[in-house]
Structure 1
Amino acid sequence: MTKAPSHKVRLGLITATIWDNSGFYSVDLSRSYKDSSGDWQNSTSFTHNDLLNVAKCAERAEIWIARQANANK
């Protein structure tokens, strides 16, 4: 059984997926795109135009994780 992510942050095609590993959080960053068949896929490779949203997603993920840590004190 796969564990669901704790939270997701999405800006445009960029997603930060936050995982809780027993109080230690990790973040996966990905970019969504449609392949030649029109099916949605994900990649961990980013173009120059993606980088601002990558940075903003990472920052928002960090803020969410910090809030969880403060709430659990």
Structure 2
Amino acid sequence: MTNQPAFKFRLGLVTATIWKNDSFYSVDFTRSYKDSDGNWKSTASYAHADLLNISKCAERAENWIARQTNDNQ
């Protein structure tokens, strides 16, 4: 059985994946791109043009996690 993310969202080519661990959440950020054969891949390397979407994803992830934490108290 595969571990499923708690939540996942995307802005442009940047995706934030939120994972629930035992007592905390963690977040992975990835950027999608097409390789030379036209196949979709993902990377954790970002261009200047991706940085605003990363910051927005980080803010949304923080808000989502804060809501989960507040709802469970």
Whether these two folds match at TM > 0.5 is yes
- The equivalent residue for 1:49 is 49
Report the Cα offset of residue 23 of structure 1.
2.8
Q: Gaps (5+ residues) in structure 1?
A: none
Scaled by the length of structure 1, the TM-score of the pair is 0.96
Scaled by the length of structure 2, the TM-score of the pair is 0.96
Q: How many residues get paired?
A: 73
- 1:21-73 Cα distance to aligned partner (Å, 9 max, x none): 02310000000001111111000000000000000000000000000000001
SS at the partner of 1:2? coil
The two structures, once aligned, show a CA RMSD in angstroms of 0.7
- The equivalent residue for 2:18 is 18
Q: Which amino acid aligns with 1:46?
A: Y
Question: Percent same amino acid at aligned positions?
Answer: 64
- The equivalent residue for 2:67 is 67
Q: Gaps (5+ residues) in structure 2?
A: none
Q: Which amino acid aligns with 2:25?
A: Y
- The equivalent residue for 2:28 is 28
Q: Which amino acid aligns with 1:20?
A: K
Q: Which amino acid aligns with 2:45?
A: S
Report the Cα offset of residue 9 of structure 1.
2.0
Distance 1:44 1:38 in 2: 19
